[in-house]
Structure 1
C-alpha cells in the first residue's frame, strides 16, 4: 500500500502523520476507517489548553471511539476534566468521542490540563484506543497493529510561548 506523508506545522511546531486511506476494507477483511484528530493546543505556565475534533476519513462508520492523550510530562495530581474524559495514568487522559460517520467530523472536545511542573515544551501524542470493533488501519491498544497502514499516533510539540499550535 502506498504511504503518503502529511506534514502539518504551526508557529514552528510540527506534526507528522503517515498514511493513506484505503477504500472499503482492511487487510483483515472488515470495514476500515481512518481516524484523525485536528485542532489546536497552547501551553502557558504549565497549563495546556486543547481543542480537538475527531475526523473519520475512512469509508466505514465507527459505532464508538475513544481518543488517548499522552503527555511527555506528568500531569498535576488534580485535574478538572470535561464529561467523557478521565485520567488513565500519570501522563494520560482518555476522552470518549463517540460514533463517527464515514468521511465526517465528530463533536469537538475541549479540555485544559495542568502539568506537574512548568516545562518549556510538552509533546502530546493522540491516538485511538477504542473504535467499536472497526479497524482503523493504524496502531492501537498499546501498539497492536490491526492489519492496516500502521500510521501510529499523531504527535504535537507545544512550546511554552502561549502561542496556539494547530494540528
Structure 2
C-alpha cells in the first residue's frame, strides 16, 4: 500500500489500513462482538476534473461504534497532490480513507467533506463508499453502507 498524501489526524486511518493488509480484521459476519448498522448518506458532484464528496456516517445500532474507517474508491485516478480533510489519508491511485469518529447508537459520526482533484478531466466518475475498518463491530446489513454513485461532469449534485 502506498500512501501519497497524509494530513494531520489521518495517522489512525493509515495504521488501520496496515492492520487490514496484515489480516488483523476478519469478516464482519463471522466476528462476535458489538453489532452496529452503519450507513453512509451524502452527495457528490463532478465539475472540470474536481470531485466534491460530502457525507455523514450514521449508526442505527444496536450498539455504539467508537470509531471506524470508511473508504472512498473512484473509477478515475486522483491527481498527485491533494489537500485532504483532517482524519483522511490517500490509500492509492484511486482511494481515500477517512475516520468516521465515534458513532453513538442511532447517531452520526463526523461530517466528511472532500474536494478531490482528478489526474485528468473525465466525463464521468463512479464513486464507491464502503466500510474499510469497523472498529470491531459486526454489521450484518451491508446493503446500506456500500453506496455507488455515478457522477457526470456537469456540476450537478448526486445524492446517496
Q: Shorter-normalised TM-score: what interval?
A: 0.7 to 0.9
**Normalized against structure 2, the TM-score is what?**
0.76
For the 8 Å contact 2:75–2:126, the answer to whether it is kept is yes
Q: CA deviation at 1:84?
A: 0.6
Q: For 2:89, what is the secondary structure of its paired residue?
A: strand
For the 8 Å contact 2:35–2:137, the answer to whether it is kept is yes
**Normalized against structure 1, the TM-score is what?**
0.73
Q: CA deviation at 1:72?
A: 0.6
Task: Give the gaps of 5 or more residues in structure 2.
Answer: 1-28
d(CA) in 1 for partners of 2:135 and 2:43? 26
Please state which structure has a larger fraction of its residues in helix. Answer: 2
Task: Give the gaps of 5 or more residues in structure 1.
Answer: 1-25, 138-148
Aligned position for 2:131: 128
d(CA) in 2 for partners of 1:120 and 1:77? 20
Please state which structure has a larger fraction of its residues in strand. Answer: 1
Q: CA deviation at 1:34?
A: 1.1
Q: CA deviation at 1:118?
A: 0.8
- Where has structure 1 moved over 4 Å in runs of 4 or more? 26-29
Q: For 2:56, what is the secondary structure of its paired residue?
A: strand
Q: How does 1:7-156 map to 2 (within 5 A)?
A: 28-137=31-140, 149-151=141-143, 153-156=146-149
Q: CA deviation at 1:29?
A: 4.6
The count of corresponding residues between Structure 1 and Structure 2 is: 131
